[in-house]
Homo-oligomer: A and B are copies of this chain.
Amino acid sequence: MSRRSGVLEFAVLGLLRESPMHGYELRKRLNTSLGVFRAFSYGSLYPCLKALVQRGWLVEETSGQPEEQQSGRAQAAAPLTGRRAKIVYRLTAEGKEHFEELLSQTGPDTWEDEHFGVRFAFFGQTSRDVRMRVLEGRRSRLEERLAKMRASLARTRERLDDYTLELQRHGMESVEREVRWLSELIESERQGTERSGRQGRQTGQDRPAPGPSDNTDR
């Protein structure tokens, strides 16, 4: 029943924060704006929307109505026999609050493969502080992975055939490329903030007191 995902939920809240939409449109945005990495189907989306409504983070509005009453599907929104309503979803205050809490998170759930893309897509709404930690978290995750690959490659080089080797080589190159990309982004973020004192690199160390106090203005 409760088809609540991490990624999909996050993306839906994020998109609806920008403006209200109905499901069909939402899905299109999901699969283009954020879409190289993830594609969602209606079978995931609609149940997710319902779950979010139930938790009070969204309200449904039947379009065509003027701005009168819009309590979560309060009135008999178009009889079942009549013309089917187009349901527009709007983020509630609680939903907005919840999304901002999600935005302020750091940790594996922000930099692992499944999550990173969608997090990045909403970096525009994320505080610089958090952006930095997510980028650095992802980079050190990838470097870790790279180290393992190198070790395993050194151990088994002889036993692998050319294609397997080539696959591995290409995989490693892809990861290395993403690391370079992240480094550029991190550097770029750094230049945005601190133009005074030089900065030694402090990878992945968690420092206290982020004070995510201000966020989300862009």
Contacts and interface: CB of A to CB of B under 8 A. Distances in A.
Contacts of A117: 167
A33 B164 contact: yes
Contact of A124 (B35, B121, B164): B164
Interface stretch (A45-53, A78-86, A199-207): A199-207
A161 B210 contact: yes
Interface residues of A toward B: which range? 35 or more
Nearest to A33: B164
Interface stretch (A2-10, A64-72, A95-103, A152-160): A152-160
B207 A162 contact: yes
Interface in A5-64: 32-37
Given A163-B121, A164-B124, A156 B203 contact: no
Indicate how many identical chains form the complex. 2
A70 to B, nearest CB: 25
Nearest to A211: B162
A201 B169 contact: yes
Contacts of A120: 163, 167
Nearest to A202: B169
Given A124-B161, A124-B163, A161-B218, A36 B168 contact: yes
12 contacts: A33-B156, A34-B167, A35-B152, A36-B149, A36-B171, A37-B171, A122-B163, A124-B164, A162-B196, A163-B212, A169-B203, A170-B181
